[in-house]
């Protein structure tokens, strides 16, 4: 699979690089205060990350004053497995290079997305990227064989919390697996076995041979 960079023109349809911000303190807290598991671990809100100077900048400058949460997604991964989206942008920053597997919401047809539509983008260490609300994404991937990743995840407060109590009014409602989280799983993914909607068709992408 071809791996492009977030500085390449193709990325503008999926997100943008955030320039002018200093996130060194936040990245140090991520490195020092969070684990690096063998699998993948996501925690939505972490006090040690939110008690940094970056919190105010991210909440006020980047999210325009909206309440936010800062968490992490750390570990080792090379597979797609699922794609999710939110109603708001997500900010990612890593201590090392990492890769995002991305598609676009408008590429979903009749509740399905063919994984041939998925593109891979490398995010350099320390570079902050905004992943647009209309961009499908999931867990980061390692950028180098054997390497893990530690990635900051910034989202509106409450995202990925308990799914709201609702009565499904449309097909999309059935894809919701958490607060502000709509998920399309591949049939091979553990999420599908746990009952998530199977909305990815084609190959469950694995970039292990490309890094």
Pairing status of strand 68-75 against strand 40-43: antiparallel
Summarised one tens digit per residue, pLDDT across range 7-37 is 999 999 999 999 999 999 999 999 999 999 9
The predicted pLDDT at position 151 comes to 98
Chain segment 51-104, per-residue pLDDT in tens: 999 999 999 999 999 999 999 999 999 999 999 999 999 999 999 999 999 999
Tell which residue, 48, 49, 39, has the closest CA to residue 148: 39
Q: What string of H, E and C letters represents the secondary structure of 70-138? A: EEEEEECCCECCEEEECCCCEEEEECCCEEEEEEEHHHCECCEEEHHHCEEEEECCCCEEEECCCEEEC
Which residue's entry shows tokens 């399309």?
Answer: 184
Phi, psi of 172 (to 5 degrees): -60, -35
Contact assessment for residue 101 and residue 73, using Cβ atoms and an 8 Å cutoff = no
> What is the pLDDT, as a whole number, of residue 103?
98
All domains of the chain in start order, with CATH: 3-78+88-160 (2.60.120)
Residues 154-203 pLDDT 10s: 999 999 999 999 899 999 999 999 999 999 999 999 999 999 999 999 99
Residue among 75, 118, 124, 130 nearest 98 (CA): 124
Give the pLDDT confidence score for residue 56 in this predicted structure. Answer: 97
In which residue are the tokens 């020092």 written?
32
CA 196-200-203 angle, 5° bins: 125
């Amino acid at each position: 699979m071809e791996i492009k960079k977030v500085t390449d023109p193709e990325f503008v349809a999926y997100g943008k690089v955030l320039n002018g911000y200093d996130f060194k303190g936040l990245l140090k807290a991520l490195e020092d205060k969070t684990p690096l598991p063998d699998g993948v671990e996501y925690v939505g809100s972490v006090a040690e990350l939110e008690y940094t100077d970056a919190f105010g900048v991210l909440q006020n400058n980047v999210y325009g004053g909206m309440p936010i949460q800062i968490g992490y997604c750390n570990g080792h991964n090379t597979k797609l497995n699922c794609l999710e989206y939110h109603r708001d942008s997500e900010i990612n920053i890593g201590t090392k290079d990492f890769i995002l597997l991305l598609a676009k919401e408008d590429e979903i047809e009749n509740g399905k997305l063919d994984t041939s539509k998925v593109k891979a983008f490398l995010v350099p260490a320390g570079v902050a990227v905004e992943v647009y609300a209309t961009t499908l994404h999931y867990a980061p991937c390692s950028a180098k064989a054997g390497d893990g990743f530690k990635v900051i995840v910034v989202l509106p407060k409450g995202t990925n919390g308990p799914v709201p109590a609702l009565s499904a009014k449309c097909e999309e409602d059935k894809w919701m697996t958490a607060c502000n989280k709509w998920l399309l799983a591949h049939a091979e993914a553990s999420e599908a076995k746990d009952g998530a909607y199977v909305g990815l068709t084609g190959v469950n992408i694995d970039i292990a041979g490309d890094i």
